Structure 1
């Protein structure tokens, strides 16, 4: 009987949609996350479980991402140090994301050093978290920068245009709000265009970009048109890829 049923089971598994896994101990939080992910990622099967002990049940599935909520635990907690290698070994092709009640730089850095591709403090807005998950699923890395003071954030608009290549990240300001700032610099790209590019990379639509940057949608469209021209890009996706270094730069050479 096993010989007859196994091929059918294998065929069924091969046609199953890719899977996202959420590991959250608390039932209410797990249920809320599950509903959000099912709404935002209808192309995926969303599986929830309280602990990593249920991962064996997913053997043979096309698991693309496993999100583990560690709560208040530090990365060095023995249970986390055991869970991360277990997840990586069980699903070597899946990306790992951590949800944490901590939003400090040391925790984020320690997570990335252990192979985590997405670090999500629970203090960030849900739309930013969803955009970050899309970035991770596309092969990118999501993490916040250290918390900065309000007076430091207010100086972002005075940053001049630069001459090197930038990487932008989301800064969590500790009150549920976020801001985008450049780590490095870019030829002929203004700070505001860098902000727009960072939000484009997260997959946000013009309306949400406008709301986050306190701009009109027409102004956002104008910035995107300027960005497309500067990168000789045919669309916003191509512009983001050139900016992030995954395509040739607008001068015809790979970005370094």
Structure 2
């Protein structure tokens, strides 16, 4: 088992025999500007996935260089807020050089519209920094098999490996509902959406509740994920 720090790989003792294993031996690039966070994620991965190799990067620039040098990456764990990048631009820049390698966003913020925005940009997963270590047991196999992994509200992390949305699933929505969904996917709160459209916040809630019932989802996260996969609601 190898644990990579920068370009130097050092053997690490594993307790994997005592931990659940749900995938093979992935090769993972962990990108975070906090060394303690990187090392913690690296340790969790090597403990829970026998034979796994972890490569660490402390910035977007270093991550881009390593991604270009490493031709056999299995996945990337990418911090949303770093010293040389912040938010979706960093995610998009990283995805540009990954050539299909699944990227999982790591963030201290758990927000439905943020999760949807990351998935819409091309990320294959989203992990809150407050997640239990066991979340990686589910997240990595899901994204490595082509699925999407994202948390639901109330701190309960699940893996919604949703099938592709039915073609035309958004066709029956009203023009107002489509306007609201566009703003939802931009990360706006109900209050911000109401202000932007010049209507009451309560009206936004009524529209969203109606859309959720129509599409068969139960919360903003599921709604945002479904709409982001169905395409722009314009």
Normalising by structure 2, report the TM-score. 0.51
Secondary structure of the 2:54 match is strand
| Equivalent in 98, 101, 118 of residue 91 of structure 1 | 98
Between stretches 95-104 and 126-135, larger displacement belongs to 126-135
Q: Deviations over 1:88-143 (max 9, x none)?
A: 22121210100111112111111111101011112222102331122111211101
Residue 62 of structure 1 corresponds to 72
Matches within 5 A, 1:131-170: 131-145=138-152, 147=153
- The number of aligned residues is 136
Q: Matched residues in 2 for 1:19 and 1:129: separation? A: 14
- Alignment-derived partner of residue 58 in structure 2: 50
Say whether 1:127 aligns with 2:137. Answer: no
SS of alignment partner, residue 97 of structure 1: strand
Change (3 A) 1:48 1:105: same
| Higher RCO (C-alpha 8 Å, min separation 6) | 2
- In the TM superposition, what is the alpha-carbon distance from 1:46 to its structure 2 partner? 0.8
Q: Separation in 1 of the partners of 2:147 and 2:159?
A: 18
Quote how far apart the aligned CAs of 1:61 are.
2.1
5+ residue gaps, structure 1, are: 1-16, 148-172, 185-256
Larger Rg: 1
Which residue, 15, 19, 24 being the options, matches 2:32?
Answer: 24
Post-superposition Cα deviations, 1:190-237, rounded to whole Å, max 9, x if no partner, equal xxxxxxxxxxxxxxxxxxxxxxxxxxxxxxxxxxxxxxxxxxxxxxxx
TM-score by length of 1: 0.47
Would the aligned equivalents of 2:34 and 2:58 in 1 still touch at CA under 8 Å? Answer: yes
Distance 1:180 1:120 in 2: 10
CA pair 100-53 structure 1, distance change in 2 beyond 3 A: same
**Using a 3 Å threshold, how does the CA distance of structure 1 residues 43 and 79 change in structure 2: closer, same or farther?**
same
Structure 2 runs not aligned, ≥5 long: 1-24, 163-234
